[in-house]
């Protein structure tokens, strides 16, 4: 599957490297799996001996994407997704590094399971895989997991997945304990009682559809609480996914106060709104729910002004058994790995944000938060790259989805911007063979 | 009341021993000197002194503690007192009597010395205000355990000659530990440099203002230490509430020979007991040549003899 070309020179490219503030015509030289040089002056010393040159014909060359939110189904739900199938989906979507969610069966809350994930990924995945471990044992929100041992085993961050930790005392102790290991706490804030039995955004749409609503307050009351707890524990916190402007305000205030806080959002919440649910489309049932168009626009603004740091796919493969139900009974979640960049291009084409900014939120921003050397074209960084045509339109066809599940919210839609080539650690992945 | 005051010895001018707080270094040294003598007495075949002859000592334990209770019992008996043990299971507390009622009842029995252990911080202080006899705090909740700190000091002084200038690391569950609080006060007052080493979840708030150096990394904290004091981790705190598991706690905060090697080569290891081997301390270290853990038990009897004797000197000749 990999074509190993060493050294490799990508010429005639638009080099976009947000970490180094680069957006210019130039070349990238890859040697022994790392970046040797990138930019307009990369070839000033000439190409290395024996290098193979690939002409990019003006396409964008950028760092491969880093996705902080991927459910893989393995172990426990391999019929929905495996590390192997998720990594193929990632590769065609330009995602060269995925962070796996601990919401598997069994839950990744034991060092031996982190080891299992790393070994399975090494043997079956074609992109880089970093497992996140559960923040609490069994994701039950009660007892803290072995943050030290899990981190030593290779857990890159600690998350309770989509399950909020309602007990403030538990969360503050987790933040406090994690601090000793410089571990990142990734939390999906939600007040369970306020969310109640809601299944979509509370408001007029939900009322007409006869569905229970989840008010914005269920999120931002919890985010505001979390910010107070982060201040109390002096912890390192990443809001997994925020969906309404009041949450963004709370994050911005915390940042202004000097707290070690970042925020993420899913590509869905930046490009879709509750109207897309239409006649009970369960592929658009998400947690937190898709909000109104006003909320979506506010979130795009929060992304543009830097309040929101990281875009993730929130890739959550679900199959017919979990999605073909009445809306209220269907599972939450949508695919995202293959469409994250194409969907994100909508924001660029709409001139909401620059391409460089979009790429920053999918490359160097997550890398910096996680302490990864990837996500940039600096000399010595891993040669995880994408060659990408931002103008190329394509249709999201169900049959061509690499994921084992097909629950994409963009089915049959046209996205503009296509990844042509994905390079992981210097190895070229041929999309036709994936 | 004023008559009693005139009885007080200037060497140890206290009616009760409720905590280390309030004891001046000369008072502490006085107790340690007395305890050194008590060690000699205890090592003779004839272990009896008569300083408490005719006195009644009641050990009132609202919280079970075989070790401390028997240590106080032996200490009293070696000084010639009549010693009675009352534990919560046999007392009327279970029948709903309040602490004050218990105190009044006991007071009517006219004890001279009352040794009290209670699960609630401040309970011993409350009791001391309600009885006419001398009260010794044998541990009140997470507040103070003065005789433990004194016996630790005695043990250290007998090995190192002095407390001043030593670097002492107190490791483990500082947050819930009365031993840690009493030791921090005593050691600081005596001129030792005190460090605390614990996961952040087991540090009490305000620890940075307690006059100690704070570490969360054990190897870093142990560097150059003369004394390593381990604390017991209660079972209910091991499984996720404060630390995630025993194996993780032992890995990062359990004292094994590898971590101990960061302290001075002649560093001494202490533990107030009872130990959880494989939780806060490895068996190898607990039983190793640097361990003073057994000796601490012997010093415990001596220091309690010293405390009882010092307080008895301040008792009125008659009630």
3-class secondary structure per residue, chain B: CHHHHHHCCCCCCCCCECCCCCCCHHHHHHHHHHHHHHHHHHHCCCCCCCCCCCCEEEEEECCCCHHHHHHHHHHHHHCCCEEEEEEHHHCHHHHCCCHHHHHHHHHHCCCCEEEEEECCCCHHHHHHCCCCCEEEEEEECCCECHHHHHHHHHHHHHHHCCCCCCEEEEECCCCCCHHHHHHHHHHHHCCCEEEEECCHHHCCCCHHHCCCEEECCHHHHHCCCCEEEECCCCHHHCCCCCCCCHHHHHHHHCECHHHHCCCCCCCEEECCCCCCECCCECHHHHCCCCECHHHHHHHHHHHHHHHHHHHHHCCCCCC
Provide, as residue numbers in chain A, all residues whose Cβ is less than 8 Å from the Cβ of B241.
143-144, 173
Annotated active-site residue in A105, A314, A430, A432: A314
pLDDT digits (tens, 9 = 90+) for A314-369: 999 999 899 999 999 999 999 999 999 999 999 999 999 999 999 999 999 999 99
Nearest C-alpha of chain B: how many angstroms from A172?
9
A1 band by pLDDT with thresholds 50, 70 and 90:
low
A21 band by pLDDT with thresholds 50, 70 and 90:
very high
At residue B25, the pLDDT reads: 97
Provide, as residue numbers in chain A, all residues whose Cβ is less than 8 Å from the Cβ of B206.
none
Please indicate if the annotation marks B232 as binding a ligand: yes
Provide, as residue numbers in chain B, all residues whose Cβ is less than 8 Å from the Cβ of A144.
240-241, 243-244
B13 has a chain A CB within 8 A of its CB: no
pLDDT in tens, chain B (319 residues): 344 444 567 789 999 999 999 999 999 999 999 999 999 999 999 888 889 999 999 999 998 888 999 999 999 999 999 999 987 665 556 666 788 888 888 889 999 999 999 999 999 999 999 899 999 999 999 999 999 999 999 999 999 999 999 999 999 999 999 999 999 999 999 999 999 999 999 999 999 999 999 999 999 999 999 999 999 998 878 877 899 999 999 999 999 999 999 999 999 999 999 999 999 999 999 999 999 999 999 999 999 999 999 999 998 874 4
Annotated active-site residue in B3, B94, B95, B319: B95
Please indicate if the annotation marks B44 as binding a ligand: no
Please indicate if the annotation marks B274 as binding a ligand: yes
Provide, as residue numbers in chain A, all residues whose Cβ is less than 8 Å from the Cβ of B248.
146-149
B236 has a chain A CB within 8 A of its CB: no
Non-local CB neighbours of B148 within 8 Å, separated by 6+ positions: B68, B139, B178, B179, B182, B183, B272, B300
Q: Catalytic residue at B160?
A: no
A65 band by pLDDT with thresholds 50, 70 and 90:
very high
Please compute the mean of the pLDDT values over residues A231-256 and round it to a whole number.
98
Closest chain B residue to A111, measured at CA: B248
Annotated active-site residue in B55, B118, B143, B145: B145
Answer whether A148 sits within 8 Å of B200, measured CB to CB: no
Residue-averaged pLDDT of chain A: 97
Answer whether A176 sits within 8 Å of B247, measured CB to CB: no
Q: Could you tell me if the ipTM is greater than 0.85? A: yes
Nearest C-alpha of chain B: how many angstroms from A28?
43
How many CB pairs (< 8 A) connect A and B?
45
Answer whether B244 sits within 8 Å of A173, measured CB to CB: no
Q: Catalytic residue at A49?
A: no
Of A144, A148, A179, Cβ closest to residue B251: A148
Nearest C-alpha of chain A: how many angstroms from B281?
18
pLDDT digits (tens, 9 = 90+) for A244-300: 999 999 999 999 999 999 999 999 999 999 999 999 999 999 999 999 999 999 999
pLDDT digits (tens, 9 = 90+) for A108-156: 999 999 999 999 999 999 999 999 999 999 999 999 999 999 999 999 9
């Amino acid at each position: 599957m990999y074509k190993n070309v060493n050294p490799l020179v990508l010429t005639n490219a638009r080099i976009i490297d947000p970490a180094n503030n680069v957006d210019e015509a130039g070349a990238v030289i890859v040697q022994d799996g790392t970046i040797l040089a990138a930019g307009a002056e990369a070839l000033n010393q000439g190409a290395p001996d024996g290098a193979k040159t690939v002409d990019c014909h003006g396409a964008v060359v950028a760092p491969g994407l880093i996705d902080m939110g991927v459910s893989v189904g393995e172990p426990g739900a391999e019929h929905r997704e495996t590390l192997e199938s998720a990594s193929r989906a990632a590769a065609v979507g330009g995602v060269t590094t995925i962070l796996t969610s601990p919401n598997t069966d069994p839950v990744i809350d034991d060092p031996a399971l982190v080891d299992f994930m790393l070994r399975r990924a090494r043997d079956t995945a074609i992109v880089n895989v970093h497992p996140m471990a559960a923040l609490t044992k069994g994701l039950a929100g009660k007892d803290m997991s072995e943050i030290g041992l899990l981190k030593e085993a290779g857990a890159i961050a600690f998350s309770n997945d989509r399950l909020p930790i309602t007990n403030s005392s538990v969360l503050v102790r987790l933040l406090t304990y994690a601090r000793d290991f410089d571990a990142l706490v990734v939390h999906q804030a939600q007040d369970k009682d306020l969310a109640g039995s809601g299944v979509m955004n509370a408001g007029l749409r939900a009322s007409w559809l006869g569905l229970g609503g989840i008010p914005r307050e269920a999120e931002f009351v919890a985010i505001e609480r979390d910010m107070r707890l982060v201040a109390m524990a002096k912890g390192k916190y990443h809001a997994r996914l925020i969906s309404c402007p009041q949450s963004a305000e709370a994050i911005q205030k915390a940042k202004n106060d000097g707290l070690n806080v970042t925020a993420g959002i899913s590509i869905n919440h930046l490009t879709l709104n509750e109207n897309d649910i239409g006649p009970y489309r369960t592929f658009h049932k998400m947690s937190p729910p898709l909000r109104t168009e006003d909320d979506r626009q506010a979130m795009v603004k929060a992304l543009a002004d830097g309040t929101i740091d990281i875009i993730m796919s929130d890739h959550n493969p679900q199959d017919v058994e979990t999605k073909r139900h009445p809306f209220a009974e269907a599972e939450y979640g949508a695919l995202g790995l293959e469409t994250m960049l194409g969907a994100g291009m909508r924001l660029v084409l709409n001139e909401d944000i620059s391409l460089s900014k979009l790429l920053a939120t999918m490359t160097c921003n997550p890398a910096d938060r996680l302490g990864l050397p990837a996500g940039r074209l600096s000399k010595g960084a891993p040669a995880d790259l994408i060659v990408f045509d931002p103008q190329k339109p394509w249709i999201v066809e169900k049959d061509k989805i690499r994921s084992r599940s097909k629950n994409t919210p963009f089915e049959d839609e046209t996205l503009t911007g296509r990844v042509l080539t994905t390079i992981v650690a210097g190895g070229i992945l041929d999309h036709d063979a994936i | 009341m004023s008559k009693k005051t005139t009885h007080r010895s200037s060497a140890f001018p206290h009616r009760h021993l409720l905590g280390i707080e309030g004891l001046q270094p000369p008072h502490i040294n006085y107790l340690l000197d007395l305890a050194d003598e008590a060690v000699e007495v205890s090592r003779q075949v004839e272990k009896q002194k008569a300083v408490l002859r005719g006195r009644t000592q009641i050990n009132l334990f609202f919280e079970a503690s075989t070790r401390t209770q028997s240590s106080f019992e032996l200490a009293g008996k070696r000084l010639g007192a009549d010693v009675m043990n009352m534990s919560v299971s046999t007392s009327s507390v279970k029948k709903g009597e309040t602490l004050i009622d218990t105190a009044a009842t006991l007071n009517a029995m006219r004890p001279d010395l009352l040794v009290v252990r209670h699960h609630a911080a401040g309970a011993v202080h409350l009791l001391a205000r309600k009885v006419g006899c001398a009260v010794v705090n044998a541990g009140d909740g997470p507040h103070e355990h003065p005789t433990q700190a004194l016996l630790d000091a005695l043990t250290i002084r007998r090995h190192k000659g002095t407390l001043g200038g030593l670097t002492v690391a107190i490791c483990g569950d500082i947050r819930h530990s009365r031993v840690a609080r009493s030791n921090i006060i005593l050691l600081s007052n005596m001129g030792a440099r005190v460090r605390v080493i614990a996961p952040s979840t087991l540090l009490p708030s305000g620890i940075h203002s307690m006059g100690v150096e704070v570490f969360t990394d054990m190897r870093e904290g142990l560097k150059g230490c003369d004394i390593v004091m381990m604390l017991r981790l209660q079972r209910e705190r091991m499984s996720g509430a404060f630390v995630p598991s025993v194996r993780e706690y032992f890995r990062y905060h359990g004292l094994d020979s590898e971590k101990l090697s960061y302290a001075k080569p002649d560093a001494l290891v202490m533990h107030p007991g009872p130990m959880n081997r494989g939780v806060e301390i490895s068996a190898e270290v607990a039983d190793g040549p640097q361990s003073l853990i057994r000796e601490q038990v012997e010093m415990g009897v001596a220091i309690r003899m010293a405390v009882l004797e010092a307080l008895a000197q301040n008792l009125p000749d008659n009630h």
